[in-house]
């Protein structure tokens, strides 16, 4: 007989705050992520505010999107900001050479991006071009965005419709400089970063957090070289990336739907290893930055599957299923557990690309299972993390792959309530667990459950949604609070007593 499972939350041992920007989003000029998916232009019949789709913005506002990263990704290192300002009809049309070879008409540029962020009430993360740009181009972009005096660039911004400076919260110097951003060695990148950062000046009250491009796996060479080499120049955080591929192979990543339990578990088990990536890298950072001033941002994460059959492979279109919802929740748990350094992350990406929140086609829109996972975890934005542990966590084993069945996170939210998030990764076995706060059983819980009948249940455009949250509650009986988690489920609850 299996031993009793017990989840214990230590509410009297507050840890670091779970920065709301852990729930940040990424919007790149890629496929229909921005154009069509969010930007339809002011002349469109699809209801919009200054070109941005009303329905998409409203759905994203419900997620309390705290931050948006733009314009890439790989696209950022080929983006020239001057091509995206001024009258739209006069902006140059380029080829998006990174993503699908399609026309990029620059309709969305600096002003449009900041308008989107304002409509969402989100902070802004602008990714600078180190790959094909220059320190001068980056410095002038920052001046255009932030200068408040009478410089020609500040006047140009005013002429283009924005009297006040834009607030740039984060600014990155290049993206994936080990790959699409220039195939550099970390030592070479450090020299280029030092040179560029010397000239990245803004008014003191509009200084962004300066981010350096880092690594993309468990290796720590980028983190170490940056931490050692970037002393004495503006440098506040490292950008680290990590995607989850069911097979772990870029050539054949695995299908987004119609997969077996072997790829269900390989996907979720991989996501849990990201915890070790973060810990190894932050341990290296601790050696060089013991005061923990430098942030470790996981600013691209999510599932990456084989492209949707029939789609442009450069558009990174993929279905989004219950598996993605659990994958998102497991990432949140990893990020909460590392909240001391991980103060910002961005899921890739916001709409129609990779692990999207929203899928659109013409005027239709579907909220994906990932969307609902994000919504369930909203109370954790700016919550104080609390240690939580699982006794007798059952092992989930499929073939040779194994992982713990259950995962937990806990926090004291800004509303004063204690929240617990639970994932049961096991695709076939439900779990019954006793929930305690310290030595005592919780009195009651109330919240929501996300699950579905099939591992690849999805919310398709124009069809009834298969993955939607439902109410979940339980009361203590005889001094014991038992939670019944269905197989393949997420539960987020507020705890009483």
User: Is residue 474 within 8 Å of residue 481, measured between CB atoms?
Assistant: yes
3-state DSSP assignment of residue 72: coil
Span near ligand AHR by CB under 6 A; candidates 70-78, 111-119, 251-259, 432-440: 70-78
28 assigned to active site: no
300 assigned to active site: yes
Instruction: Find where tokens 């009478």 sit.
Output: 150
Span near ligand AHR by CB under 6 A; candidates 62-70, 259-267, 346-354, 392-400: 346-354
Minimum CB distance to ligand AHR smaller for 143 or for 176: 176
Q: Does 173 bind ligand AHR (CB under 6 A)?
A: no
Sign of the torsion angle spanned by Cα atoms 178, 179, 180, 184: positive
Q: Does 72 bind ligand AHR (CB under 6 A)?
A: yes
User: Is residue 488 within 8 Å of residue 322, measured between CB atoms?
Assistant: yes
Distance (Å, rounded) from C-alpha 237 to C-alpha 69?
15
The residue from 176, 224, 340, 460 that is catalytic is: 176
Q: Does 73 bind ligand AHR (CB under 6 A)?
A: yes
Q: Residues 78, 137, 176, 456: which binds ligand AHR (CB under 6 A)? A: 176
Q: 105: which strand partners?
A: none
Nearest distance, CB of residue 300 and ligand AHR, angstroms: 5
Of all residues in the shown chain, the one whose CB is closest to ligand AHR is 73
- The residues near 403 (Cβ < 8 Å, ≥ 6 apart) are 265, 268, 269, 272, 395, 396, 425
Minimum CB distance to ligand AHR smaller for 30 or for 423: 30
Span near ligand AHR by CB under 6 A; candidates 68-76, 384-392, 462-470, 476-484: 68-76
Number of residues that bind ligand AHR (CB under 6 A): 10
Nearest distance, CB of residue 99 and ligand AHR, angstroms: 8
Minimum CB distance to ligand AHR smaller for 73 or for 84: 73
Helix locations, 249-354, DSSP H: 261-288, 322-337
Minimum CB distance to ligand AHR smaller for 348 or for 445: 348
Minimum CB distance to ligand AHR smaller for 60 or for 245: 245
DSSP 8-state assignment for residue 480: B
The residue from 78, 300, 402, 432 that is catalytic is: 300
What x/- string results for residues 348 through 367 when contact with ligand AHR is judged by CB under 6 A? xx----x-------------
- The residues near 424 (Cβ < 8 Å, ≥ 6 apart) are 405, 406, 430, 431, 485, 486, 487, 488, 489, 490, 491
Tokens for 266?
A: 């390989």
Nearest distance, CB of residue 127 and ligand AHR, angstroms: 9
What x/- string results for residues 118 through 137 when contact with ligand AHR is judged by CB under 6 A? --------------------
Span near ligand AHR by CB under 6 A; candidates 35-43, 55-63, 71-79, 388-396: 71-79
Residue 444 has a CB neighbour count (10 Å cut-off) of 15
Distance (Å, rounded) from C-alpha 54 to C-alpha 65?
15
Tokens for 53?
A: 């789709």
Nearest distance, CB of residue 167 and ligand AHR, angstroms: 24
DSSP 8-state assignment for residue 31: T
Q: How far is CA 236 from CA 190, 246, 265, 432, in A?
A: 14, 33, 36, 44
Q: Does 28 bind ligand AHR (CB under 6 A)?
A: yes
Instruction: Find where tokens 């030092």 sit.
Output: 194
Q: Residues 38, 60, 65, 74: which binds ligand AHR (CB under 6 A)? A: 74
3-state DSSP assignment of residue 109: coil
Q: Residues 146, 175, 393, 451: which binds ligand AHR (CB under 6 A)? A: 175
Residues with a known catalytic role: 176, 300
Contacts with ligand AHR by CB under 6 A lie at 28, 72-74, 175-176, 300, 348-349, 354
């Amino acid at each position: 007989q299996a031993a009793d499972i017990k989840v214990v939350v230590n509410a009297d041992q507050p840890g670091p705050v779970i920065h709301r920007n852990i729930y940040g989003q990424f919007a790149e000029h890629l496929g229909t992520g921005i154009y069509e998916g969010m930007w339809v232009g002011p002349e469109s019949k699809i209801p919009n505010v200054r070109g941005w789709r009303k329905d998409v913005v409203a759905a994203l506002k419900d997620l309390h999107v705290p931050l948006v990263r733009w314009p890439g990704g790989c696209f950022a290192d080929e983006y020239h900001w001057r091509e995206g300002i001024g009258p739209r009809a006069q902006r140059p049309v380029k080829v998006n050479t990174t993503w699908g070879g399609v026309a990029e008409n620059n309709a969305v540029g600096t002003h449009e991006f900041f308008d989107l962020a304002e409509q969402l009430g989100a902070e802004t993360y602008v990714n600078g071009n180190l790959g094909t740009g220059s320190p001068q181009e980056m410095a002038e972009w920052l001046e255009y965005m932030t200068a408040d005096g009478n410089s020609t660039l500040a006047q140009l911004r005013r002429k283009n419709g924005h009297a006040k400076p834009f607030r740039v919260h984060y600014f990155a110097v290049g993206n994936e400089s080990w790959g699409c951003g220039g195939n550099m060695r970390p030592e070479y990148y450090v020299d280029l970063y030092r040179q560029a950062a010397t000239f990245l000046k803004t008014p003191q009250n509009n200084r962004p957090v300066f981010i350096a491009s880092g690594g993309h796996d468990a290796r720590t060479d980028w983190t170490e070289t940056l931490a050692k080499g970037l002393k004495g120049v503006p440098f506040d955080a490292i950008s680290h990336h990590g995607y989850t591929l069911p097979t772990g192979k870029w050539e054949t990543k695995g299908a987004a739907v119609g997969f077996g339990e072997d790829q269900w578990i390989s996907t979720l088990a991989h996501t849990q290893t990201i915890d070790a990536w973060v810990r190894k890298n932050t341990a290296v950072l601790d050696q060089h930055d013991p005061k923990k001033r430098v942030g470790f941002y996981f600013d691209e994460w999510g599932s990456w599957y084989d492209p949707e059959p029939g789609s442009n492979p450069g558009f990174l279109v993929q279905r989004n299923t219950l598996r993605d919802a659990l994958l998102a929740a497991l990432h949140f748990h990893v990020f909460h557990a590392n909240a001391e350094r991980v103060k910002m992350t961005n899921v890739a990406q916001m709409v129609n690309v990779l692990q999207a929140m929203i899928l659109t086609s013409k005027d239709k829109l579907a909220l994906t299972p990932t969307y609902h996972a994000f919504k369930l975890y909203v109370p954790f934005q700016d919550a104080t993390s609390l240690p939580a542990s699982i006794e007798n966590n059952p092992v989930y084993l499929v073939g040779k792959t194994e992982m713990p069945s259950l995962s937990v996170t806990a926090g004291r939210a800004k509303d004063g309530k204690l929240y617990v998030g639970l994932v049961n990764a096991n695709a076939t076995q439900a779990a019954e667990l006793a929930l305690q706060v310290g030595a005592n059983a919780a009195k009651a819980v109330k919240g929501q459950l996300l699950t579905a009948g099939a591992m690849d249940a999805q919310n398709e455009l124009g069809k009834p949604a298969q993955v939607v949250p439902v109410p979940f509650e339980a009361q203590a009986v005889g001094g014991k609070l038992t939670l019944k988690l269905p197989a393949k489920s997420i539960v987020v609850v507020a705890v009483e007593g």
